[in-house]
Amino acid sequence: MTEALVTVDHAALTLGGQAVLEDVSLTLAPGRITTLIGPNGAGKSTLARLVLGLARPDRGRVVRRPGLTLGYMPQHLRVDESLPLTVDRFLWLAAPGRTGARRDALQRTGVAHLRRRAVRQLSGGEMQRVLLARALLRRPDLLVLDEPAQGVDVAGQDALYGLLGQVRDETGCGILLISHDLHLVMARTDEVVCLHHHVCCSGTPEAVSRDPAYQRLFGTHGMANLALYTHQHDHDHDLSGDVHGGHTHDGHHHGGHHHD
């Protein structure tokens, strides 16, 4: 088996007198998409900080592969709207270098046409793709994405998760994806880890969705959302979610592309 990128081994962390993480273990491997789910306040972002080396556990340890390169896409990134900052300049500030590399990163995330656009003029979905391009500029071995679909409509979320799968397939990088909605990432992940200060359950999306620990956290009323409708992709979504071309929907779950 390929050497793990990051191993979190029985990690615990207390902040402000509150136990945020308790006895958490996690292994992130090359070429695998691991999704970390849990309710708000469950410690997901804190665990991401441990993985990234931005925090240290009080107990346990975090082991990173020597020479590991990390790419990070934060949940929130505030850019001063008064700054006349173009997308290209924004990327240059994160990774100074040749223009071609920035153009290639934007091309990969489907927003090359926005290179000279002012950052303050971007929509939510456009900004998320620019942030992903920014993370990819580092040519990371491991991509860590904290709620990457926030502020993006459903069609845009589907397109973004599909893009992450393509990045994984093309580069072989590992991906740690943080989300509070399992049903949004069902078709796009290899492993799910359900966190509520400790690891409640883990495994394939289907196994986790049936686990009593998951159902206690999220309730069974939302389980119908896991059988998301499937449609044939004989059309394309643009970045705003508009559909181009014909479309055929059916109401049955049979392993295709999922939307809620």
The pLDDT confidence band at residue 220, using thresholds 50, 70 and 90, is: low
Cβ neighbours around 249 below 10 Å, total? 9
Question: Which residue segments constitute the domains of the chain, with CATH numbers given?
Answer: 1-69+142-220 (3.40.50.300), 79-139 (no CATH)
Say what the pLDDT of residue 3 is: 84
- pTM (2 d.p.): 0.78
Q: Which percentage of the chain shows pLDDT scores above 90? A: 45
Q: State the chain's mean pLDDT as an integer.
A: 80
pLDDT value for 259:
35
pLDDT class of 2 with cuts at 50, 70, 90: low
Residue predicted with more confidence, 157 or 81: 157
Rounded mean pLDDT of 227-232?
Answer: 34
Asked if residues 194 and 202 have their Cβ atoms less than 8 Å apart, the reply is yes
**Beta pairing, strands 248-250 & 230-232:** antiparallel
When mean pLDDT is compared across 36-50, 70-84, 135-149, the lowest value belongs to 70-84
Which of the residue ranges 90-104, 112-126, 195-209, 210-224 would you say has the lowest mean pLDDT?
A: 210-224
The predicted-structure confidence for 48-86, as pLDDT tens digits, reads as follows: 999 999 999 999 999 999 999 999 988 767 777 777 899
